[in-house]
Amino acid sequence: MNNVRYIYITLAFSLLCGACGGHKPAAKTSPYERPPLKEVSDSQLLADGLLIDALALQETGRTGEALDAFATLTAKDPSCAAAWYEMSQLLMQRRWTDSALACAQRAVALNGDNTWYLLSLAQAQGLRGDKRALIGTWERLVKLKPEVLDYYYELSNAHLGAGDIAGAVGVLNRVEDKIGITEPVSLQKQRLWQAAGKDDKATREIERLAESLPGDKRYNAILAESYMQQKRYPKAKQCYDRILKADPDDPYIHIQLAEYYKATSQPDKADEELLLAFRNKGLDAKSKLQILSGFYTREEFFETRSATAFRLVDMAMSDCQDSSELATYYGNILMFQKKYAEAAHLFEMALRRDSADYTVWEMLLICLTEVPGSDDRIDSYSRRAATLFPMHTLPHFLQAQSAYNDKRYTDALASLDEILRWGFSKGYLEAETYGLLAEVAYRNQEYDRAWKAFDKCLALRPDDMPTLNNYAYYLGEQGLRMEQALQMSRRTIEAEPDNANSLDTYAWLLHLLGRDTEALPYMQRAVQHDPDSETLQRHLRIIQESIR
């Protein structure tokens, strides 16, 4: 009666635990199979009970206790394949791959027809890096379940992992024998042959694919690309012609033909094909600009093919929406062409959409400095940029320059001090900042600060003649270091003998030193070069009167 009672218990759990001891399950969809109903021994019932307990611990997340329970079970019943299998899974979760592999091997040794056990073995071998053994396991799975295509793909990958490309392709050939030529398999075989450096075999795979699906233009495109890589240009052209004939409205065939003509040194035809592609409404502005970015080298874009390149950019942008990215791109092109007003408009458009990119602010400000009558816009944008990006020099510099022009010297000094507080990036605008600081400080009667700024500017840029001239003139106005000022001024007229301002400074310094006779010819030359200057006329009269 005890045995009968345990038979009913076994039936209740047979879906989970029929693989221990003398049970010999035929693998189906679970590692546990329901065995034929038969009377079992007390020891077998005990083993089944231990398996149920271990599985319960595993299901409730008590994996450490479950692992101990499975170990206890295998010690009592080494023939329980299910316990070895579960132990291998738990050990792999802990990355104890050596032990996991040993357990999976025991499970497979006890029941080599169970796909679950073989899959566990493959997983453990993969973690261990046992490449050849992994190939053997997937081969067993393929033979056991020849209808499961995924096993073939895994077998192919195992060959690839072992560096056996021919073996990997061979497995994919077996797949084609079963299901025929398909795109995923053919493309994978192509990639494998390319990796092996066998371009002819890679191309043959695409040729077979194109032959099997003659109505699909994609394969002609792939085949043409393969021919292009091999420099088999006539073959590539045949493919492109077939695509063009099948779908003349496809903009991308013209792009591919442009690449073909460029590769075969026919740049004019390449440009014609790009123009055809860009006239196609099916190609959006962003795609067009991305194509341009990759098609021309920088030298071609801005020099040798610039006429066509800029025309293509204009075509791309003709139907462009208010896009920050595209506006910035086009603005750069226009800026390079010195079309500063148009470029500034596009940068303003970009900033309306996205004001977080400082580079766009800087390009806008640079453009505006080249556009007459933009003082108010420069002041407004530089003020906003200085607030958003206080560590950058240009916005503060333009703010200082604007304040200086308006004779707001205190405001100008505040902006220049902000620049000095943050420092300079690779010397950008450093000499200009000290030069402007010298001018502002002098106008604000901070003479010592002005002299230091002049010295700093000239240390950075010793041949800056306007700065040298102003420095000399201001020293003369203050009656300081007159001989040094005269020497500095002398340098400017030697460098620029026809510069009216430099001639005026030199003559005026000579006058201040009481050397009016020497000063007169220099002042006369200054007036000759700038006869409309009231200051020069006044200086000339003073020197002439001093001589009389």
Q: Are 51 and 82 in contact (CB under 8 A)?
A: yes
**How many CB atoms sit inside 10 A of residue 147's CB?**
7
Contact (Cβ atoms closer than 8 angstroms) between residue 310 and residue 333: yes
Query: What is the rounded CA–CA span in Å between residue 318 and residue 310?
Result: 12
CA neighbours within 13 Å on the CB side: how many for 140?
19
- Residue 12, by phi and psi: left (phi above 0), alpha (psi -120 to 50) or beta? alpha
Instruction: State the chain's maximal CA–CA distance in angstroms.
Output: 149
Question: What is the C-alpha to C-alpha distance for residues 177 and 337, in angstroms, rounded to an integer?
Answer: 61
- Spatial CA neighbour of 314 closest among 365, 350, 266, 279: 279
Structure-token pair, residue 517: 């006779």
pLDDT in tens, the chain (548 residues): 333 223 222 323 332 334 454 333 334 455 555 455 455 555 666 666 667 766 777 777 787 887 887 788 788 888 888 888 888 888 888 889 898 899 999 999 999 999 999 999 999 999 988 999 999 999 999 999 999 888 988 998 899 889 898 898 898 889 888 888 887 888 788 788 878 888 888 888 877 877 777 667 777 888 888 888 888 899 889 888 888 888 888 888 898 999 999 999 999 999 998 888 888 888 887 788 788 778 888 788 878 888 888 888 788 777 665 567 778 888 888 888 888 998 898 899 889 888 999 999 999 999 999 999 999 999 999 999 999 999 999 999 999 999 999 999 999 999 999 999 999 988 999 999 999 999 999 999 999 999 999 999 999 999 999 999 999 999 999 999 999 999 999 999 999 999 999 999 999 999 999 999 999 999 999 999 999 999 999 999 999 999 87
Q: How many Å apart are CA 167 and CA 134, to the nearest integer? A: 13
CATH number (1.10.3720.10, 3.40.50.2300, 1.25.40.10, 3.60.21.10) of 463-548 reads: 1.25.40.10
Note the pTM of the prediction, 2 decimals. 0.53
C-alpha torsion 85→91→93→95, nearest 10: -140
The beta strands (E) that lie in 183-329 are given as none
Q: What angle do CA 511, 444, 453 make, to 5 degrees?
A: 80
In angstroms, rounded to a whole number, what is the distance separating the alpha carbons of residues 360 and 353? Answer: 11
- Domain-by-domain residue ranges, the chain? 408-459, 463-548
Contact 31, 116 (CB under 8 A): yes
